[in-house]
Structure 1
Amino acid sequence: MVKLKRAYEPPCADDGERFLVDRLWPRGLRRGELSLAGWLKDLAPSDELRRWFGHDSTKWPQFCERYRQELQMPEKQALLRILAQKAQEGTVTLVYAAQDKEHNNAVVLKQLIDEMIGRGS
């Protein structure tokens, strides 16, 4: 199972393994506060794509398309396969800092992982 959670929400036991999926560390938080299994900044959107999107929800469809293209790179596919395997075995929580819970890179990652394990939303 894949869950999404803002970095500013406290960790809880049912989060399973928690992975930060942003390129930048969340402002105002110390490393130990997030209880992470890993920081997968290589799965985050490129700086160019992140700046272009700027959390502008009107650009969401284009962002999703461009981000999915970036995620086709072999090294990113390898990381996605690891997360998909972990999600089949237990709970994986993708942690992100964005305020918009519906329009952020973690949403796209969750969709992709769900598709990989046959749980497309």
Structure 2
Amino acid sequence: MDLLIKRVYDEPSGADGFRVLVDRLWPRGLSKERAAVDLWAKEAAPTTELRRAFHQDGMDWETFAAAYRAELATNPAVPRLRELLAGKPVVTLLYGVHDERHNHADLLREALLE
């Protein structure tokens, strides 16, 4: 399986394959039609507390990444998602944040590929 990452605000493409939104909150100003999401896997996103600590309270990236990896290791949504995506040739994980380098979708991708 090819597991890609893309901002949900970017134009959907046929090359995206199965599109999975991996944010806990629905992206602002984006209709469900325009998002073209096949699955909303909000249970695999960072917890509300961790998300707020990173986006609102100034938690640094390394601390966030370590905390989210710890959440992923014990989150039952991760193996369920891995199982659900098995057999799909192309899957694109969609996220809403502006920062393409520091976002949880990349960490979730790592966990799903393990």
Q: TM-score range by the shorter chain?
A: 0.7 to 0.9
Q: Distance in 2 between matches of 1:49 and 1:82?
A: 25
Structure 2 CA distance for partners of 1:70 and 1:39, relative to 1, 3 Å: same
Structure 2 CA distance for partners of 1:21 and 1:6, relative to 1, 3 Å: same
Post-superposition Cα deviations, 1:64-113, rounded to whole Å, max 9, x if no partner, equal 11101111225223234225624xx4111000000000101101011222
**Alpha-carbon deviation of 1:60?**
1.1
Q: Distance in 1 between matches of 2:100 and 2:56?
A: 11
**Alpha-carbon deviation of 1:23?**
0.4
Post-superposition Cα deviations, 1:3-40, rounded to whole Å, max 9, x if no partner, equal 11111101000100000000011010011111111000
Structure 1: 5+ residue stretches without partners: 117-121
Percent identical among aligned pairs is 40
- TM-score, normalised to structure 2, is 0.88
After the TM superposition, list the runs of 4 or more consecutive aligned residues in structure 1 that deviate by more than 4 angstroms.
55-58
Structure 2: 5+ residue stretches without partners: none
1:83·1:92 contact (CA, 8 Å) conserved in 2? no
| Range that drifts further, 56-65 or 10-19 | 56-65
The one-letter amino acid paired with 1:90 is P
Q: Distance in 2 between matches of 1:110 and 1:24?
A: 18
Q: CA RMSD in A?
A: 2.0
- TM-score, normalised to structure 1, is 0.83
Q: Distance in 1 between matches of 2:57 and 2:16?
A: 28
Structure 2 CA distance for partners of 1:47 and 1:81, relative to 1, 3 Å: same
Report SS of the residue matched to 1:71: helix
